Amino acid sequence: MRAPQDPELWARRSRSFGAAAKEYAEHRPDYAPDAVSWALADRSDVLDLAAGTGALTKDLVAAGHTVTAVEPDPGMLAELQLRVPDARVLPGSAEAIPLDDASVDAVTVATAFHFFDDQLAIPEIARVLRPGGVLALFYDLDDTDSAPWLRELDDAKRTSASHPPPEDEGWPVHALLEPWDERRFEHVHRRTADSLTATIGTQSHTLVVSAEERAETLARVRAFLGSQAETADGEFEVPMWTVVARARVRAAD
């Protein structure tokens, strides 16, 4: 789930979300409920790492888990606290988790692991997990087989900060990780042409470019959506898959 990218630009993209935290919370999709059940089973104490504005956090709380949500960006953190008051919310990062050793049963990461430094983050995740604990990675991916127009939309939304379409290099490999299990769950995101354009406006490749390029890109996206029979008028469903990878984590030495 990691694509090649200029390190400086990739770092800028990782830090870009806070200024659009309210819009991010309003427009980003959530995750398929069955994916949460499969990923965590009966594990009760959960750390939602790089929790953003709480798209997954709220579902973890609703499912009855005791949740600690950790997020590095102050703008995202404030929105997270507002939207998920029943979670324990802390500032912190994947590379420096503000929890005690062996304090949680599971760690979840939703659409964020690609921004982590694996070599620092995985030992930190192993440190805070209890024996038998799991790491579960969540991603929402467009179902382009069901909706071919999504492939054209991907071309329309590209900016100078977009990376090339990634080759699937698989899930991270580390001495502390046992082999991954992966499942896909059908999911949809209900949008209009305007709200899907706004969703794309919360993606990092549109947030880090110049105001002029951003405006041009979003205008191009809106024009494309207005030209398609499936998306021109009213609400429509964006078909997607919630992809979850789950691995047991060995205790760090």
Residue 60 lies in a domain: yes
Count of alpha carbons within 13 Å of 39, Cβ hemisphere only?
31
Q: Could you give the angle at the alpha carbon of 39 between the alpha carbons of 53 and 169, nearest 5°?
A: 85
Is 136 a domain residue?
Answer: yes
Q: Is residue 107 part of a domain?
A: yes
Per-residue pLDDT of 121-177, as tens digits, reads: 999 999 999 999 999 999 999 999 999 999 999 999 999 988 765 555 689 999 999
Q: Total structural domains in the chain?
A: 1
Give the domain extent around 80.
7-142+166-188+241-248
Predicted TM-score (pTM) of this structure:
0.92
Q: Is there a domain that residue 127 lies in? A: yes
61-102: pLDDT as tens digits: 999 999 999 999 999 999 999 999 999 999 999 999 999 999
Q: Does residue 1 lie in a domain region?
A: no
Q: What percent of the chain is modeled with pLDDT above 90? A: 84
Q: Is 251 left (phi over 0), alpha (psi -120 to 50) or beta?
A: beta
pLDDT in tens, 12-54: 888 888 788 899 999 999 999 999 999 998 778 999 999 999 9
Query: What would the two tokens of residue 112 be?
Result: 């964020």
Query: What is the CATH classification number for the domain harbouring 113?
Result: 3.40.50.150
Residue 221 lies in a domain: no
